[in-house]
A and B are shown apart, each in its own frame.
Chain A
Amino acid sequence: MTNDELILVLTGKFPDAIIAQGSQYVEMTVKAESLHETAIQLKQTGEISFDYLFCLTGVDYPKNMGIIYHLESVKHRHVMVLKVRTADRINPSIDTVSDVWITAKYHEREVYDLLGIHFNNHTDLRRLFLEDGWGFPLRKDYVDEVRIVER
């Protein structure tokens, strides 16, 4: 499916979402409440079937946190980007999609570890790289207190 066709299908399926052509891929922004339902539909609808989540990124924006999902359909070979923003920046939380794509379970752990975004209903939300009690280094206001190399 080409990007234009994909936009048509997605617009029909998700009337509430904001859908636009990005620099390369079709980008769809949804509200945080509808994320989980959207994820299930994206994967299970036969004509789009986005079954391969190849990248999950957390971004610290000035007012809130964003999570960006890069999805591909192995059958149809089209790619799209799903975007969502949390309501709060200090104590952000969002529904997990790890029950839809298993790989999200570990990517979400990484996002939780580095950005402190809490994923609701995640079965194993622990730190992945850093110790408990460490700050969230990818946040823009992170202060590196244990600076090993002094400038």
Chain B
Amino acid sequence: MSEIREVIVKTDRLATDKYQVNMGPQHPSTHGVLRLLVTLEGEKVLNVQPHTGYIHSGIEKMCEAITYPQIIHLTDRMDYLSAHMSNEAVALCVENALQIEVPDRVKYIRTIMDELTRLASHQLWWCVFGMDLGALTTFFYGLRDRELILDIFEETCGARMTVSYNTPGGLMFDIHPNFQKRVKDYLKYFRTKLPEYDKLLTGNVIMRERTEGIGYLTLEEAIDFGVTGPSGRASGFSCDVRKHQPYSAYPFVKFNEILDHRCDTLARYEVRIKEMWESISVIEQLIDNIPEGDYALKMKGVLKLPEGEFYQRVESARGEFGVFIVSDGKKNPYRVKLRSPGFSNLFALNNMAKGHKIADLVAIMSTLDLIIPDIDR
């Protein structure tokens, strides 16, 4: 609060060249409640200072009071667009700690769901990226395709976004008998729709003018700031956990890690578009080969992890998501740390936006694909 007051007091300085503007917490392009304190000189951005915590919900503290299967339901609420990956991270971490190997069927279904989630997340990102730049049409095109994925989720587990489909030892339910057919139909459909995205936005002159050479993030900076996911890979940072520390069914499939060395906003845009093609290919490799078997192992009613520290990394739609559990042998964890990709990505914003116009700040922030509950936790 004291800072807000400071800014109001300082308004008499508007007469000079530099001034400070609060972008957010209700600004539509922040996609949530994030406040950026932007120092401007005319239209030029001199400094961006993110202020977080508007929806800090204390998830890490809550985790200390609940059991391991319950934690999964909290991780849904962080990055709600890659809910399935966050769930999977907790489930894998608990399974590794208990040294359980889940059936292949579970691995396959988890990976298919991962990639469907990634598709849905990138689609929504594409919608709002266009919208942030003023191209409203993309919003309708993207949501049209994303709805169908959410329908598949709904049929599979009853929820559309906060899926909570994983549980330590497997999945909550088996897949719906229609699942394979529906996913295959969807991929066939989306293969014809994805080129539309390029036609509509990628080649657009205005869009390219506003993204090429804007928001430069070098490879060294990306590593130093820990910028992961598509945003990091667009700076040439090879950080795909699916490749480097494969989990679930990723060792069984062939896919490319999309890297780009142009480091600008356009590169981050194109990496995501190309990742959608890779996701389609991963699902196609798995969907016909889901092995028969159990969809979950029989687990004890109360799970107790052995004493020790356990870490699990997964690739969520916006970067590396990590779960770190410190256990003291009880049914509740002693400490849970959730390493969210958005948190690290956000703080590179100042370096990327410095020197650009304030309208470019919107474009840069959009390609970082920030989800605020993921940052605030």
Chain A positions within 8 Å of B, measured between CB atoms, are: 22-25, 51-55, 57, 59-60, 68, 70, 74, 77, 81, 101-103, 105-107, 110, 114, 127-132, 137-138, 142
- A103 x B309 contact (CB < 8 A): no
- A137 x B58 contact (CB < 8 A): yes
User: Which B275-331 residues have C-beta < 8 A from chain A?
Assistant: 308-311, 313, 320, 322, 324, 326
Q: Which residues of B contact A105 (CB under 8 A)?
A: 347
Q: Which residues of B contact A130 (CB under 8 A)?
A: 53, 56
Nearest Cβ on chain A to B345's Cβ, whole angstroms: 10
The proximity string for B residues 166-189 relative to A, scoring 1 for CB distances below 8 Å and 0 otherwise, is: 000000000000000000000000
The A interface, classified by DSSP as helix, strand, loop or mixed, is: loop
Q: What are 19 A-B contacts with C-beta separation under 8 Å?
A: A23-B309, A24-B310, A54-B320, A54-B322, A55-B322, A60-B335, A70-B311, A74-B223, A77-B244, A81-B309, A81-B311, A102-B221, A102-B225, A103-B225, A103-B347, A107-B344, A128-B52, A137-B58, A138-B60
From B237, B238, B308, contact of A23 by CB (8 A): B308
Q: Across the two chains, which residue of chain A brings its CB closest to B57?
A: A129
Nearest Cβ on chain A to B90's Cβ, whole angstroms: 15
Interface size bucket, B side?
35 or more
**B224 at the binding interface (Cβ < 8 Å):** yes
A129 with B376, Cβ < 8 A, contacts A57-B335, A103-B224, A106-B343 known = yes
- A103 x B53 contact (CB < 8 A): no
- A70 x B308 contact (CB < 8 A): no
A106 to B53, CA, bound (A): 13
A53 to B322, CA, bound (A): 12
A114 with B60, Cβ < 8 A, contacts A59-B335, A68-B324, A129-B53 known = yes
User: Which B151-173 residues have C-beta < 8 A from chain A?
Assistant: none
Q: Across the two chains, which residue of chain B brings its CB closest to A83?
A: B309
Q: Across the two chains, which residue of chain B brings its CB closest to A22?
A: B309
- B238 x A54 contact (CB < 8 A): no
Pick from B223, B228, B322 the residue with the most CB of A within 10 Å.
B223
A17 to B317, CA, bound (A): 37
Q: Which residues of A contact B97 (CB under 8 A)?
A: 23
A63 to B339, CA, bound (A): 25
